[in-house]
Structure formats: structure tokens, C-alpha cells
Amino acid sequence: MSNNVVRVENLVKRYKELIAVDHFNLEIKEGEVFGLLGPNGSGKSTTLHCILSLLKYDKGTIEVFGEKMTENSYHLKKDIGVIMQNVAVFEELTVYQNIDYFCGLYITDKKKRKQYVEEAIQFVGLEDYKKFLPKKLSGGLLRRLNIACGIAHKPKLLIFDEPTVAVDPQSRNKILEGILELNRQGATVIYTSHYMEEVEQICSRIAIMDKGKSIALGTKEELKQMIKNSETVCVEKVECNDEVIGKIKNLKYVYDVVYAEKELKVCFSGGNHNVIHVLDLLQKEDVPFGRVYTELPTLNDVFLELTGKELRD
């Protein structure tokens, strides 16, 4: 049997002449923390809304937990928790009442619901804020309340859409640690963010979307192998003339050299011990230098190379 929690095949969603999602395919396995990335307008949110059957689409099939997902699939939706970018809680209800309300949409047994609500409050660290109204909470606490409302009924599939926007580093770490703990407890997670370091930190596999299509899919290591850069050697406080720069450019695997304000950056597309080759050449040319370090490609480098560096709306 397939262990796919989500399966999207040949999905197409149009808004008149605009094709928001263009024959998109996706499979998310049970137990994954799956990152869904893309620039603004790439189709991420539209895809998530189609998966949740909040939008009608023009073509394709969507299955969740091995069954076709429809707007009336309440037996499937009760096992899904959604935490969207915009905080969605009731301002007139306290922290406890908000979590209890959202949990009660799925858990009718009062004793079990009370237990689940208490566990959710403890999980996000809001024990001291049960009687607070949302307007009295800081941005980080408000985000944690939003998460508690989405996870209290213990869903099998969790969708996080930009959950750490505009929160301080401490709250961000708390949220990311919580997501990983939920995954360890058995939840499959779909995670979207513009913070590449977060995705690199917690996601087991990652898909990158652009213009409604999937342009890359794999682990972070597999994605990094898709781009030209494998290593950048950086040398500070170095004075290079054109002749030395030319010799550096002729080193094996070098595809780009940037020299500005006495800082040298040498970009490699393969090879081993590249830093040694650069330093050997500088020493042979009697070129003094300061601190030397190397930079390995990041997920951000992958994202920018695959989607481009132009600004998006």
C-alpha cells in the first residue's frame, strides 16, 4: 500500500487568463516534514487551498490519506490542522476559550476535549496566559496561540503557512522546535516559509515552485547539487593585480572570481581542497592575505539560482 498522505496529480488552476497552477504534481509521504517553497505568486497558496478543497480547480486529482479530497470530505478534514500566516483567533475569547472552541469543532467528547486543550496549552507554553485575551498577547505568544488552535485536536496532517512571520528569534525557535516535536509524535507536516534557514533546518524534503510549476524536488543535499556552485573560497585583506586574478581564474573548477575592496571570492563548481589551491597560488605570487574561509552553498543560493533574482510582487 502507498504511504502517501498527500498526492496531487496534474493539478491545474486558472483565474481567467492566468494559470496559477500549471500541471503540478506532488507526493508527500507519511512522517515527512515537507517544505513547499516559491517566490510570491508562484502558486504555493493556491496549491494548498486546492489540497484543502477550499478552491475549485480546473483539472487534476487530489488525494489525502489515500482518498479523493472534496469540499464535503469532513472525515478527512478532521485529521488536518491548518495554521495560516494571518492569525485567525476570536478577539473576544480568552486563550483557553479560543483553543477549546477550535478543538470542539472536531472533538465532541468534553472530557477528551478538556485534556486535549490542556495538552495544547502546555505544548506551546501558554500556561500562564489561559485567561488572557488575544489583544494582550505579544506577537510571538499570539503565533503560539494560533498554532495551539490548529493542533489541539491532534491532526495527522499539519499545514504551516509562514508561521514565524514577524516574531522574535526566541519565539521562532520555540515554534520550530514545536513543529519538529509534533512530527516526532507522528504528524506529517507541510511547511511554507520565505525563511530559507528554517526550511533547511527542519524539512526532510523540499519542493520549489515557480510560475505554477514544480521546478525542483529533493532533500536539501540533492537540491544543492542542482546548482553550479559547490564552494566559495573567501580571502580578506588581500591585494591582487590583474595577473594574479587571471591565474586564479585558470585554477581547475573555478567559474567566477570577484575582487572588490581587498576581498577575494573564488567560486568553484567541483573539486577537493580548493582552498589549498587558492592559498598555494597566492603564496607563490608573494601576495599577503588575511582571514580565509569557505562558504558552502545554502538553500537560499539554490532558490535564487533556480527562480532568479528579480523582484516579485
Domains of the chain listed by start with CATH number: 4-219 (3.40.50.300), 231-296 (3.30.70.100)
Q: Which residue has the higher pLDDT, 128 or 170?
A: 128
Q: What is residue 137's three-state secondary structure?
A: coil
pLDDT tens digits, residue range 52-84?
Answer: 999 999 999 999 999 999 999 999 999 999 998
What is the C-alpha separation between 20 and 210, in angstroms, rounded?
10
Give the distance, in angstroms, between the CA of residue 121 and the centroid of all CA atoms in the same chain. 25
Three cell numbers written together for 151: 493542533
CA distances from 110 to 95, 99, 100, 150 (A): 18, 13, 10, 18
Over range 263-268, report the average pLDDT. 97
What is the C-alpha separation between 129 and 126, in angstroms, rounded?
5
What is the C-alpha separation between 182 and 77, in angstroms, rounded?
18
Confidence of residue 2 (pLDDT cuts 50, 70, 90): low
Q: What is residue 68's three-state secondary structure?
A: strand
Rounded to two decimals, what is the model's pTM?
Answer: 0.90
Share of the chain above pLDDT 90, in %: 90
How many Cβ atoms are within 10 Å of 148's Cβ, its own excluded?
A: 27
Confidence of residue 167 (pLDDT cuts 50, 70, 90): confident
Which pLDDT belongs to residue 1?
41
The one-letter amino acid at 199: V
CA atoms within 13 Å, Cβ hemisphere of 75: 4
pLDDT tens digits, residue range 186-238?
Answer: 999 999 999 999 999 999 999 999 999 999 999 999 999 999 999 999 999 99
* 125-131 CB contacts, 8 Å cutoff, 24+ apart: 125/174, 126/95, 129/95, 130/94, 130/95, 130/96, 131/94, 131/95, 131/96
Which pLDDT belongs to residue 211?
94
- How wide is the angle at C-alpha 274 spanned by C-alphas 269 and 278, nearest 5°? 115
Q: Is the pLDDT of residue 313 over 90?
A: no
Sheet holding 292-295, edge to edge: 254-260, 263-268, 231-235, 292-295
β-partners of residue 189 are: 33, 158
